[in-house]
Amino acid sequence: MRKRTLVSVLFLFSLLFLLPDQGRKLHANAEDSSDEVTDPPKVEEKIGGHGGLSTDSDVVHRESESMSKKTLRSNAEKFEFQAEVSRLMDIIINSLYSNKDIFLRELISNASDALDKIRFLALTDKDVLGEGDTAKLEIQIKLDKAKKILSIRDRGIGMTKEDLIKNLGTIAKSGTSAFVEKMQSSGDLNLIGQFGVGFYSAYLVADYIEVISKHNDDSQYVWESKADGKFAVSEDTWNEPLGRGTEIRLHLRDEAGEYLEESKLKDLVKRYSEFINFPISLWASKEIETEVPVEEDESTDEETETPSTEEEKEEDAEEEDGEKKQKTKKVKETVYEWELLNDVKAIWLRSPKEVTEEEYIKFYHSLSKDFTEEKPMAWSHFNAEGDVEFKAVLYVPPKAPHDLYESYYNSNKANLKLYVRRVFISDEFDELLPKYLSFLKGLVDSDTLPLNVSREMLQQHSSLKTIKKKLIRKALDMIRKLAEEDPDEIHDDDKKDVEKSGENDEKKGQYTKFWNEFGKSIKLGIIEDAANRNRLAKLLRFETTKSDGKLTSLDQYIKRMKKGQKDVFYITGSSKEQLEKSPFLERLIKKGYEVIFFTDPVDEYLMQYLMDYEDKKFQNVSKEGLKVGKDSKDKELKEAFKELTKWWKGNLASENVDDVKISNRLADTPCVVVTSKFGWSANMERIMQSQTLSDANKQAYMRGKRVLEINPRHPIIKELKDRIASDPEDESVKETAQLMYQTALIESGFLLNDPKDFAARIYNSVKSSLKISLDAVVDEEVEAAEEPETSEATETKSDDLAGGLNIEAEPVEQQEENTKDEL
């Protein structure tokens, strides 16, 4: 028994000695393992300030290695960028432009779009937002100066694995190509947001990017790339769960250190993203004063000091009498918290009187993603009340989009954002404005439209027609006001009443600029919008025979019309220079009439719809029906030239000429060809023939009947009259009449059906003028006979060649033997 007791005691003593030693070994091992990872990265506090799952040391170690080496993870799925994306990224990465600030506004803009999408989905399904912090729709920016990482996070819709590959690895070729072409021509990186390629601007400041994203329908994935033509996507098992949304981590270049400064980021958000509709917060530092307990040695020193005033003595006495309190002191401490950067109320919710011009311009840049220095030409901010209530802001951009008219009727692109009760619904809703006003940018916030309905139902909503009607009226009023405020648009009679000022100088030429950019849209509006045709006609501008190169309006034209003039005269063609020399204008200019020049192809269609203005009819001076006063000798001339016109018409029967008449529009030209009043003009025929899918058989129905008009005062016409009277069967006269008709066709703007025949007649005319017989033929070409080369000649050439190279000509067999010896 005693032996057992003794053994137990000895065993206990041995345990007591072993345990401290084992504890020291464990502690030493822990220290050794901590030394293996130099400067192990701490798990960052989850963006958003709430707790999350912790990560083990192995995961942190792997993440640290990946971030320090900036290489794609070995277990990730690798992909290659689309060729267009690689081309785009090369331009951005190698960009020498100083304005690299745009990357932040593009990433914030993308984050805002993602938040808009999830908020829209939440209208019909509230569960998509989740709970707690995940349900907060916000954008957060965080810095890690030690690792040179800038993070931008949103709680938007997020991206699935497929979305990451599709959205960040490939892009619509048209958008990329258009951006690259624009970049090469203008070199302006500010254009990047307008082409849907804003994400890649991040490579202006970063050489390695991670995109962590979580979509409700998929796991959390990481997209990463060094912009070397490849990217990788892998399931995220090491970062904090996002809940939902996207976090972009930019590993900044060495030269981009300025973007790790809080002041720089605050300035960029204030400048570019002030009017984003979601809160943007920065994890910012600030100094605060806190009271901390005073250490014992400090308190002892304070006690030894003698009170200097009676008040201090009383205080000390009170302290002695009362319960002894712990002494504290104030110290400055640096703390971090989320700081809201965009606390400005949405512009459209404020009164127009409260918003400054600078704020309107900033809001336009934010809305349109156009961050050039040019400000919008005009804007209109208004509240509509009544049966349908809504608020709207409309802008006229400084420049037309590059593809505004390329796919005008096929494009559903709209530049108006639709909100319903401050909730963003869509920016692809093209029912708010007609196509011809699609160049306007802005937003509409309606209190009348329902929130939780489909787009198809919204299009049928009765309030939409009322909103559209009011928007059109306000848009046209805004454009009309732009013209009225332009000093160049003021009539000469009214200029003396206008005082020149700096404001007027700034607005000078604005409407001319607008017309050069968007004039075609106004013309298309006249064609498409019958209800507003007269309003749009007031906005028309054109050059005339009396405008001295400046644009004029229909109102100004009518004001300058001659007494007794009933019609508005115009002519269509390919260029002003060509029209100025047109024979159709000769007599009109001579009599002092003003004629409008229409040189845009769309003008031909325009004038088919714009039949009159202010009770004045429009008259194309190249068509029948022109009335330019009355000539007292008209009847006499018709009678005198009756025989010639009848003969000429019969001679041109094969040319589909409807009639030959005496002209009232010619002064110096012998003859012209005009068309019937309701048929195509020569210019319209040329336009239709140049169409890709034109059908010549169908066009025959629309071609106007051609009428040859002759000038009875011209010497050629007088001579022809006399020749016909003496010998109507004279072949030379018939040839001359045919040649004159073909020449008149060309001068009147028509295309010849048989150019070869016309050329032959010209050459015959030249022969006659040179007194060369019409039967003279071209001399036959004499071909020199080729003589075969003789063997002697061939040997001579070989000898000459060998001599020129200082080589002795050798027989072929000898050359072969020499070659073998050399080998």
Annotated binding site for ATP: 106, 110, 154, 159, 167, 173-175, 194-199, 246, 455
CB distance 600 to 520 below 8 Å = yes
- Please choose, from the candidates 297, 269, 226, the residue with its C-alpha nearest in 3D space to the C-alpha of residue 66: 226
Q: What string of DSSP letters covers 670-684?
A: SEEEEE-TTSB-HHH
Pairing of strands 423-426, 441-446: unpaired
Q: CA angle 705-711-713, nearest 5°?
A: 165
Residue whose tokens read 């005198």: 640
CB distance 363 to 380 below 8 Å = no
DSSP category for residue 623 = B
Amino acid identity of residue 291, one-letter, is: E
Binding-site residue ranges:
106, 110, 154, 159, 167, 173-175, 194-199, 246, 455
d(CA 104, CA 666): 66
d(CA 793, CA 787): 12
Q: Is 660 helix (H, G, I), strand (E, B) or coil?
A: strand
- The pair of three-digit structure tokens given for residue 690, joined into one six-digit string: 């140049």
- The pair of three-digit structure tokens given for residue 447, joined into one six-digit string: 């209190």
d(CA 542, CA 552): 6
**What's the helix, strand, coil split of the chain in %, to 5?**
45, 15, 35
d(CA 708, CA 748): 10
Q: CA angle 273-111-234, nearest 5°?
A: 145
d(CA 787, CA 695): 56
Q: What string of DSSP letters covers 313-342?
A: HHHHHHHHHSPPPPPEEEEEEEEEEEEE--
d(CA 645, CA 659): 8
- Please choose, from the candidates 526, 542, 686, the residue with its C-alpha nearest in 3D space to the C-alpha of residue 610: 526
- Please choose, from the candidates 351, 379, 350, the residue with its C-alpha nearest in 3D space to the C-alpha of residue 364: 379
Q: What string of DSSP letters covers 381-434?
A: EEEE-SSS-EEEEEEE-SS--TTTTTTTTT-----EEEEETTEEEES--TTSS-
Q: For every residue of 440-479, which 3-state class applies, written as one string?
A: CEEEEEECCCCCCCCHHHHHCCHHHHHHHHHHHHHHHHHH
d(CA 622, CA 618): 12
**Phi, psi (degrees; rounded to nearest 5) at 5:** -65, -45
DSSP lists the bridge partners of residue 623 as 675
